[in-house]
Amino acid sequence: MDDLFYDMIFKRKSFHLFGNVKEKISKDELAKIEDFIKQVKPLMEDIKTKIEIVPASETTCKRGEEYCILFYSEKKDNYLQNIGYIGEQIDLFLPSLNIGSLWFGIGKVKEQKYEDLDYVIMIAIAKMDEDKFRKDMFKSKRKELGETWSGEKHKEIGNITRFAPSACNSQPWITEEEENKLVVYRYKKKGKRGIMPIDKVNYYNKIDIGIYMLFLEICLKKENIEFEREIHIDNCNDETEKNLNAVYKLK
């Protein structure tokens, strides 16, 4: 599965509008998605989550999608990073079925609660033609490598991970290479938040960090680099630009 994920990094794209969809997602494809959802690996084993696939009509998302994948979670430390990590596995699986996707943060759902779990975010999906996916990932607009990665030894990994999707393309991360370590920070430059509402920046950027960590791990595995992951609680300190989220000890 890791090889599939790596290959799909280069194919996936965010479909901000799905357009006139000619083909529907089949029952067989829905079953494959549901089966895959049962296999996703969490970032945080102790956080309860629930994932539901619903018709688009049950949400306020209006981008031409057919279904939406809804994510629910209990609220514990790093629960947003956990949802990003889980959801991005699904996001990378979908292009293998020629199903397009969009992380959609501003959508609302009918059910804000699933039993004792809170709604977090959704991914909108629709069947797309093969030629609608990315042909050359490196033509996508992203920050320069030096803005998201510090160090030389593994900078080629950083050159791939910078293409992880993020809210409003904010790319709120910096990875710093230390001796046999990769240190991952959630980064927010003071006074800059893009077009996101100020009260939502930390919320969405924590999800983004979970997405980014999945990309990083996929690339490490592709290079056959073994690692031990150490997760840190993001304390949301707005007085600093960098909030520590993870340390990867390389073996």
Strand pairing partners for 28?
A: none
Same domain, 20 and 119: yes
**Assigned token pair, 233:** 């609680």
User: Whole-model pTM?
Assistant: 0.96
Name the residue among 214, 224, 213 with its Cα closest to residue 185: 213
Same domain, 11 and 78: yes
Write down which residue in 87, 112, 132 finishes a domain. 132
pLDDT for res 193: 57
Determine the structural domain holding residue 198 and report its residue range: 141-250
pLDDT for res 198: 79
Q: CA of 241: how far to CAs of 6, 137, 156, 188, 233, in Å?
A: 30, 28, 25, 5, 16
Locate tokens 């033609």: which residue? 129
Locate tokens 């938040």: which residue? 193
Same domain, 88 and 126: yes
* CATH number of the domain within which 35 lies: 3.40.109.10
Mean pLDDT, consecutive 10-residue stretches, the chain (251 aa), reads 95 93 93 98 98 97 96 97 98 98 95 94 97 95 96 97 96 96 91 70 96 98 98 86 96 92
